[in-house]
Structure 1
Amino acid sequence: MHRRQIPSGSPVIHRHRPRRRLRRTAAALTAILTFTGIALTVGLATGAQAAALTSAPLASTPAGTTGFGCAHPAQAGQARCFGLLKDHRTASGRMSPFTTGSPTTAGYEPSDLRSAYKLGGTSGSGRTVAIVDAYNDPNAESDLAAYRRAYGLPSCTTANGCFRKVNQRGQASPLPSGDYGWAEEISLDLDMVSATCPGCHILLVEANSSDVTDLMKAEDTAATTPGVVSVSDSWGGPEDSTITSFDSHLHHPAVAITASSGDSGYGASWPASSPYVTAVGGTALRKASNSRGWSETAWSGAGSGCSAYEAKQSWQHDSGCAKRTVADVSAVADPNTGVAVHDTYNSCGGGLLCDTELQLGVAQGADGWVEVGGTSVSSPIIASVYALAGNASQVVGGSYPYSHTSALNDVAAGSNGSCGGSYLCTAGPKYDGPTGLGTPNGTGAF
């Protein structure tokens, strides 16, 4: 199999290298003095550290957010994950810790999501949602337990048969090496399955790396594991001429596969553009005084567009794109209306100093409750709604919602870029690129 080549300018995951404790401590001291109102001007040793002090977001991430650490400059044949940490700041503009310390202040909770998408009274009945990610999260099960315990969700552990973690070959060992950025993605994915489908079992398949060939091996393992009804892929990369050669790994009839549309605004990405997946865009979700109790607009960072390589499928009828159009449906993704996630895998060991180092960017990972956005949120939500619906035997690619649009909330406002005002980047009545056909209004569209 040939490696999929992603252009050299696109974002991708690199393995993280621990930084020296001395430099972390110096930077942390600077931050602590700043937080207390003491003006301190210190020249740091390197340009990278100076950049860290400003907490400037990565070039590939929307303003006001920080990538998970799996959004670095591209390398050929690799993918990036689509999760974003919300940058919390004080009224004076100074940074505040990413870790809030409380599940009630970190973002939307399971009850919020189930209310917004009318999922009350459904549980999943033991159906399995699979998550495909790269590298290992050593704290995946303990962080999952903390999240579910905080919100009164039923226990989901290896011991009770609800949770299972395997490598890309489907084996319990050896697991891949750990990666702080991908661990944040894994925590997000597991928590969103838990929030949306609390009765679902969860299979976590960890690819050896973010190389597409490894991710596709993990994809096949996930989709062919008995009991799996849906698979979520919260990662991707720009399209190129080789993507169609990997589509067969996403073609698993009777298993619903969802893929995040991306976090860089207008522009199609793969595997969201594959005809065998449900491409999931993103919205900003807010409480409202209307009959629904919620309102949604297109999130400015959500990916969308017209594929340059994938053929249009019979169920898509939009006239402005001759090939496959992204997205199909959507759910919350805006970091400013983000969700609560619990993650403790980091390079600094936990505690107050660790929190400071994390917010400065001189340590990697997270240390508790964080508020998260990105289409990495929306993909596992939709995969879990498919599991709640229990219609996997009828799923063919992303076709099912197109014949059940009455069970979707139409999102008719917002934009994710410049495309001459076209529906490909501008939300409007019925179908549009950033939000697709809309968001779940119960399970009827899935």
Structure 2
Amino acid sequence: MPRTTRSATTRTRDGEPGRARTPLRLAAALLASLLALTGCQTVAGSEAAKRARAAMATTPEPGATATAEARRACVRATGTGCYTFTQLRGLYGTKTLNDGGNDGAGTTVAALGVVGSPHLAADLRHFSHALGLPAPRLKVVRHKPPHGAKAAPFDEDNAGMLATAREATLDMEALHAMAPRAALVYHQVDLPGVDADGVLDARAAEALAAAMRTVLTEQRPDVLSLSFVMSERGDSADQVAALARGLRPVLAEAARAGTTVVAASGDDGASPGSAQAAQLGAKPVRGVAWPASDPSVTAVGGTRVTLDEAGHRRCADTVWNDKGGAPGGGTSVLMRRPRYQDGVRDVTGAKRGVPDISLSASAAGSTMVWFTHAGRGAWVPMLGTSLAAPLFGGIVALAAQRAGHGLGAVNPALYRLGRDGGVRDITTGDNATEGTSGYRAGRGYDLASGLGTVDAGKLVPALATPE
């Protein structure tokens, strides 16, 4: 996810700003910063990251439907959960719904991101076959770079492009796993080659916003999942505020027209952009990220789950917080508290509170995607709220199928529903990160987990039934 836009300068050893020597190096650095804007990460931030990279080369390809062998190899290599989407389907109850015919048929679910992957369709087919899911129906829509610029070709040796490719793969495989008969659309925002002035960050943010406007006003899927985040505070605050103002009426109208937009809350805990701030020697500031902060969007945070082989909980979910990061959460400086949060005003005050709901995202409880790199596919463990967002987006698609139409804004219903309606409280954990205080989970709504997590078996019929 693009986190916030920032300067394209690097720093020399004496601390003075210096420019990257080549456009290729600058492109990699800028795309990496874009990922900070997204929730896209492999298992990272610890020794597990090194082992995960090694696992890409050592994890065996499974048989037609078996992923257990691949999981065991991944666990040995990374020391993380390496859960399969089959386990997550059991955890959230979507497998039972799917087996009963509530599988997303007749709905369209979409994701939007930069660059994409040249292997997306093939990887999704392999993933679907390995999990025994219906064959995917995928369409890739490419959005041209702004101002007539030429799109940069995909370069598998570019770390930033490789990471965005993993992000696209994660988005579509998560959506397909939850709603396996939904039509899938990936909106790929192409970016231009980078020049020495380093304007890619700002241009990428503008390009994403423009594509989002097009998707919401012209395409109108039943669900749109967004895995990029742009901090409301920091050196790009003015640009983000302008984008948020411009898209606010578009998002509201899309919700009225039946599109549900879900967005990752971010992976830097209560201070989006804190990782970048630390690199620059700046003090992180508490805040939240857009577009998750928009009241017409469902902001999706992250949990740590501990599962057995069948996907059953071995202990209660907690707020994700480990060396891979923590979910974004807090109060907006741009958006006032929406009416549906009036009942939790003692937590949010006069501002919009984030997140609304939370699903699996942790590094310790990673989830495997099938991803091709350098001509070889492997099961790669992933983490982040850009996993949690499409998981929830797929669940909303099941409710849309059941209702017979797109649901639009689901937040008012989420805040009305309790445990009997499929919302499960999370009462432990926090989203504090190194050097920054965060928020603790507790009974009821909180700024670490939102309302909690979900049981799709109860939530899907509750969302599909009019008030």
Normalised to the residue count of structure 1, the TM-score between the two structures is: 0.71
Q: Which residue of 255, 268, 271 maps to 2:259?
A: 255
Please give the residue correspondences for 1:291-440 in structure 2 after superposition, counting only pairs within 5 Å: 295-300=316-321, 301-316=326-341, 317-318=343-344, 319-321=346-348, 322-345=350-373, 349-350=374-375, 367-390=377-400, 391=403, 393-396=406-409, 398-406=411-419, 407-417=422-432, 425-440=439-454
- Partner of 1:258, secondary structure, is strand
**AA paired with 1:312?**
R
What is the RMSD of the two structures over their aligned residues, measured on CA atoms? 3.6
Do structure 1's residue 198 and structure 2's residue 177 form an aligned pair?
no
> CA 1:177–1:217 in structure 2 vs 1: closer, same or farther (change >3 Å)?
farther
Q: Structure 2 CA distance, aligned partners of 1:81 and 1:10? A: 20
Q: Structure 2 CA distance, aligned partners of 1:284 and 1:79? A: 20
> Which residue of structure 1 aligns with residue 190 of structure 2?
208
1:176–1:207 Cα contact (<8 Å) kept: no
- Alpha-carbon distance, 1:281 to partner: 0.3
> CA 1:290–1:245 in structure 2 vs 1: closer, same or farther (change >3 Å)?
closer
Please give the residue correspondences for 1:90-169 in structure 2 after superposition, counting only pairs within 5 Å: 97-99=54-56, 100-102=59-61, 103=67, 104-105=70-71, 106=74, 107-119=82-94, 120-122=96-98, 123-156=103-136, 162-168=137-143
Q: Structure 1 CA distance, aligned partners of 2:247 and 2:138? A: 28
Q: Which residue of 201, 224, 232 maps to 2:225?
A: 232
Q: Structure 2 CA distance, aligned partners of 1:435 and 1:274? A: 17
Q: Structure 2 CA distance, aligned partners of 1:259 and 1:95? A: 26
Deviation per CA, 1:197-217, whole angstroms, max 9, x where unpaired?
A: 111110010112371221122
Q: Structure 1 CA distance, aligned partners of 2:248 and 2:36? A: 15
2:5–2:205 Cα contact (<8 Å) kept: no
- Alpha-carbon distance, 1:350 to partner: 4.1
> CA 1:88–1:144 in structure 2 vs 1: closer, same or farther (change >3 Å)?
farther
- Partner of 1:125, secondary structure, is coil
- Partner of 1:436, secondary structure, is coil
Do structure 1's residue 187 and structure 2's residue 169 form an aligned pair?
yes
> CA 1:256–1:125 in structure 2 vs 1: closer, same or farther (change >3 Å)?
same
- Alpha-carbon distance, 1:223 to partner: 3.0
1:328–1:437 Cα contact (<8 Å) kept: yes
2:8–2:30 Cα contact (<8 Å) kept: no
- Alpha-carbon distance, 1:269 to partner: 0.9
Q: Structure 1 CA distance, aligned partners of 2:423 and 2:387? A: 18
Q: Structure 1 CA distance, aligned partners of 2:214 and 2:330? A: 29
Normalised to the residue count of structure 2, the TM-score between the two structures is: 0.68
1:10–1:237 Cα contact (<8 Å) kept: no
- Alpha-carbon distance, 1:383 to partner: 0.8
**AA paired with 1:149?**
H
> Which residue of structure 1 aligns with residue 37 of structure 2?
80
Deviation per CA, 1:363-414, whole angstroms, max 9, x where unpaired?
A: xxxx521000000100001111110111564432632211223311211111
2:129–2:135 Cα contact (<8 Å) kept: yes
Gaps of 5+ in 2: 11-19, 62-66, 75-81, 145-149, 155-160, 192-200, 272-287
2:269–2:433 Cα contact (<8 Å) kept: no
Q: Structure 1 CA distance, aligned partners of 2:167 and 2:47? A: 26
- Alpha-carbon distance, 1:249 to partner: 3.9
- Alpha-carbon distance, 1:441 to partner: 0.6
1:287–1:295 Cα contact (<8 Å) kept: no
Gaps of 5+ in 1: 20-67, 157-161, 352-366
> CA 1:79–1:154 in structure 2 vs 1: closer, same or farther (change >3 Å)?
same
**AA paired with 1:244?**
R
2:4–2:231 Cα contact (<8 Å) kept: no
1:116–1:293 Cα contact (<8 Å) kept: no
Q: Structure 2 CA distance, aligned partners of 1:17 and 1:445? A: 51
- Partner of 2:386, secondary structure, is helix
- Alpha-carbon distance, 1:96 to partner: 6.2
1:425–1:434 Cα contact (<8 Å) kept: yes
Q: Structure 1 CA distance, aligned partners of 2:450 and 2:53? A: 35
> CA 1:291–1:109 in structure 2 vs 1: closer, same or farther (change >3 Å)?
closer
- Alpha-carbon distance, 1:126 to partner: 3.0
- Partner of 2:447, secondary structure, is coil
1:131–1:222 Cα contact (<8 Å) kept: no
**AA paired with 2:370?**
H
Q: Percent identity?
A: 27
**AA paired with 1:85?**
T
- Alpha-carbon distance, 1:340 to partner: 0.9
**AA paired with 1:142?**
A
1:165–1:205 Cα contact (<8 Å) kept: yes
- Alpha-carbon distance, 1:295 to partner: 2.7
Q: Structure 1 CA distance, aligned partners of 2:307 and 2:52? A: 26
- Alpha-carbon distance, 1:244 to partner: 2.6
Deviation per CA, 1:11-60, whole angstroms, max 9, x where unpaired?
A: 9xx9x9779xxxxxxxxxxxxxxxxxxxxxxxxxxxxxxxxxxxxxxxxx
> CA 1:84–1:307 in structure 2 vs 1: closer, same or farther (change >3 Å)?
same
1:166–1:175 Cα contact (<8 Å) kept: no
**AA paired with 2:318?**
T
- Partner of 1:433, secondary structure, is coil
2:220–2:259 Cα contact (<8 Å) kept: no
205-214 vs 128-137, greater mean Cα deviation: 205-214
- Partner of 1:396, secondary structure, is coil
